[in-house]
Chains A and B, each alone.
Chain A
Amino acid sequence: MTAITSDVAPRGGRQSRLGQLARNPSIACGAAVLVLLILVALLAPWLGTRDPTAISAFDRAKVPSAAFWFGTDMLGRDLYSRVLYGTRVSLIVGFSVAIGATILGVLIGVFAGFLPRFDAFVMRVMDGLMAIPSILLAIALIALNRASIWNVILAVTIAETPRVVRLIRGVVLFLREEPYVEAARSCGASVPWIVFRHILPNTFAPIAVQATYICAVAILAEAALSFIGAGVPPSTPSWGNIMAEGRALWQIKPYIIFFPALFLSITVLAINMLGDGLRDALDPRLRKRV
C-alpha cells in the first residue's frame, strides 16, 4: 500500500489519502452519482413510486405526465417506478460480480503464481474461457439454468474471473522476484506470510481499478442479457427487460426505452469515471497506458 501511494503523495494517514482521492474530479463526480444511485435503489419505495408490477388496463402506454412521470408501458405499469426499482437489479449485479470475480480471481491468481503445476493447468482453462466471448459464455451458462438474477450474477462472474486471474497472476509473478520478497524468503518467511504481508497489499491498486471496471461491464452485461431475453425474468423490473418490453412499441413510444437507457448509461458512465480516476490516482504507472 505505502509502496504505491508514496509515489504520488507524501505519506499520510488514511484520512488525508481519502481526501486526496476525493480531490480528483473524475473520482468525485463518479462517486457522487454512484452514491445518489445507491440511495435511489435503497429508497425506491419512498420516492413517489407505486407497485412496479401493478398492471392497469386503463393506463396502457400513456405518455409521460404529472401522474406518470416516465409514462406507462403497454401493460399500464408505471415506468418511473419500474426504472427506479430497476436500479436495484443493476447495482446488485454490478457489485456482486465485482466482488465475486475479484475474490475468485485473487484466490486462483495467487495460487497460480506460486504453484507452477497448478499454474500450467489453470492458465489453459482460463485461455479457453477467454476464447469464448463473455456474453456468449454467459448465455451458455444461463441456458443451462432458469433465467434469474442469481444465475446472471453467477454466469457473468465466471465470464469475468479469467481477466482478474491473469492480472493477479502477472502481478504475483512480478512481485515474487522483487528484492524485498526475496529478502523475506531468505529470512525464512512462510509462503502464506509472504502472500499476506508482501504480495496482496501491493495488488490492491490494480485490483481496485479492475473491480470498478468489472462492475461497469457486469451492469452492461446484465442489461444486454435481459434485453435479449436471457437475463432477469420479466417479473422483476430491470433496465434491460424494460427495454426489451418496449422494443415492440419503440417507434411510436420511444420514451419506454429512453428512460431505462438513460439511467443505464449514466450509471455505467459514473462507474467508468470512478475507475479512470482511481487508475490515475492509485497507480501512476498505468496512467500512460490506455
Chain B
Amino acid sequence: MLSHIARRLLAALPVMAFVALFVFGLLYLAPGDPAAIMAGDQATAADIARIRIALKLDDPFPIRFGNWVWSLLHGDLGLSLFTNQPVAAMIVQRLEPTYLLMLMTLVVSVTLALPIGVIAAWKHNTASDRAVMVFAVLSFSVPSFVVGYLLAFVFGLQLRWLPVQGYVPMSNGLWPAVRSLILPAVALGSVYIGLLARITRATMLEVLAQDYVRTARAKGAEERKILFKHALKNCSVPIITTIGSGVALLIGGAIVTETVFAIPGLGRLTVDAILRRDYPVIQGVILLFSFMYVLVNLLVDMLYTVFDPRIRY
C-alpha cells in the first residue's frame, strides 16, 4: 500500500512539472514588460532597467524557470503587477469562501445525488426514473450561473429566505457564513448532482442485476438494506471516480458562481486578475487549482482500497 502511494505520487510529478512549465510559459510569453508595468507611468528607462535586473528578467529561459520553481517550492508566487502584494498572500486571503463553497457543494451534491440515483435504478423504467434522467440532461444543459440567478431570484428576491448575494466571513460565526453560501452551493452543485445521479443510476442498474442481490432478496433482507448496503457499496468505485473528475467542473463553476453571487473568493480574484492582465495572479490561481485537482484525484485513487477492499495494491 505504502509503495503504491509512493508510486502514484511519483507518477503525478511529471504532470505537475508539465503544469508548472505551462504556467511559467504563460508568464514568459505574456505581452508587455512586467518591469515597465511595475515601474509605473513616470518611470525612466533606467528605472525599468533596474527593475529588470532586480527581477532577473534578462536571464535565459531555463535559469528563470529554475529560479521560479525554486521560489515556488518556498511558497513564493511573485508579486502582483497591480497591488505589489505577494500573490501567495492574496490567494490565502481569498481561500476561505471558495473552499467553504466547494466543500458545501460537495456535501450537498453527494447527499442529494446518491439517493436520487439509487431510487432511479430501483424504480427502473418508471416515471420517477425518467424524471431523474430528464433532470440529469437539464442539469448538464442549464449552466450553473443561470441556475444561480434563478435561485437568487426565487429564494432571495421573491421569497426573501436567503441572502441574494455577498459572503459573511466565518469570523462572524459558522452559520451566517454557511447561510450566505447555500444558494451558490446549490447552483454550483447542479451539474455535479446530475453527473453523480446518472453514474449512480447506471452502476446501480448493473449491480442490482447481480446474483448476490437476488440472494439477499431471497434470504428476506430489508429492501432498504439491500439497496444502500449491499448494492451501493459495490458502486463506490465509479462514484468516487466521478466525484474526483467532477472537481474540475467545480473549479470552473466556482469562478463563475462567485461572480454571480459577488463572493470575494478565488474566483473573483481570478476574474479581476484577467480584467487587469495581472499575470502573476492568474498564474498563481491556475497553479493552485491544478495542483488541487491532481491531489484530489490522487486521493480518490487511494480511497478505492478503503471503499472496495477487493482492490489491493
A14 beta carbon closer than 8 Å to chain B: no
A273 beta carbon closer than 8 Å to chain B: yes
Residues from chain B with Cβ under 8 Å of A133 in the complex: 248-249, 251-252, 289-290, 293
Q: Range of interface residues on chain B?
A: 35 or more
B307 beta carbon closer than 8 Å to chain A: no
The CA-CA distance from A227 to B202 in the complex, in Å, is 34
The CA-CA distance from A132 to B251 in the complex, in Å, is 10
A228 beta carbon closer than 8 Å to chain B: yes
Q: Are A134 and B256 in contact (CB under 8 A)?
A: no
A83-134 contacts to B, CB under 8 A, are 124-125, 127-129, 131-134
Q: Are A229 and B271 in contact (CB under 8 A)?
A: yes
Residues from chain A with Cβ under 8 Å of B206 in the complex: 288
- Shortest distance between the CB of A262 and any CB in chain B (Å): 9
Interface segment, one of B13-21, B37-45, B56-64, B166-174: B13-21
Q: Do A288 and B252 contact each other (CB < 8 Å), given the known contacts A128-B22, A224-B145, A272-B141?
A: no
Identify A227's interface contact among B256, B279, B293, CB under 8 A.
B256
Question: Which residue of chain A has the shortest Cβ distance to B245 in the bound complex?
Answer: A130
Residues from chain A with Cβ under 8 Å of B202 in the complex: 288-290
The CA-CA distance from A134 to B271 in the complex, in Å, is 15
Interface segment, one of A42-50, A136-144, A171-179, A185-193: A136-144
A265 beta carbon closer than 8 Å to chain B: yes
Q: Are A128 and B15 in contact (CB under 8 A)?
A: yes
Q: Do A269 and B141 contact each other (CB < 8 Å), given the known contacts A136-B289, A144-B29?
A: yes
- Shortest distance between the CB of A183 and any CB in chain B (Å): 34
Question: Which residue of chain B has the shortest Cβ distance to A260 in the bound complex?
Answer: B146
Residues from chain A with Cβ under 8 Å of B14 in the complex: 124, 127-128
Interface segment, one of A16-24, A54-62, A197-205, A250-258: A250-258
Q: Are B256 and A268 in contact (CB under 8 A)?
A: no
- Shortest distance between the CB of B295 and any CB in chain A (Å): 10
Identify B256's interface contact among A124, A224, A288, CB under 8 A.
A224
Q: Are B18 and A136 in contact (CB under 8 A)?
A: no
Mark interface residues in A143-184 (1 if CB within 8 Å of B CB, else 0).
110000000000000000000000000000000000000000
B102 beta carbon closer than 8 Å to chain A: no
User: Which 6 pairs across A and B sit closest by C-beta, in order of nearness?
Assistant: A128-B18, A135-B252, A269-B141, A133-B248, A268-B141, A261-B146
Residues of B within 8 A of A (CB): 14-16, 18-19, 22-23, 26, 29-31, 137-138, 140-143, 145-146, 149, 153, 157, 164, 198-199, 202, 205-206, 248-249, 251-252, 255-256, 259-260, 270-271, 274-275, 277, 279, 282, 285-286, 289-290, 293-294
Residues of A within 8 A of B (CB): 124-125, 127-129, 131-137, 139-140, 142-144, 216, 220, 223-224, 227-230, 243, 247, 250-251, 254, 257, 261, 264-265, 268-269, 272-273, 276, 288-290
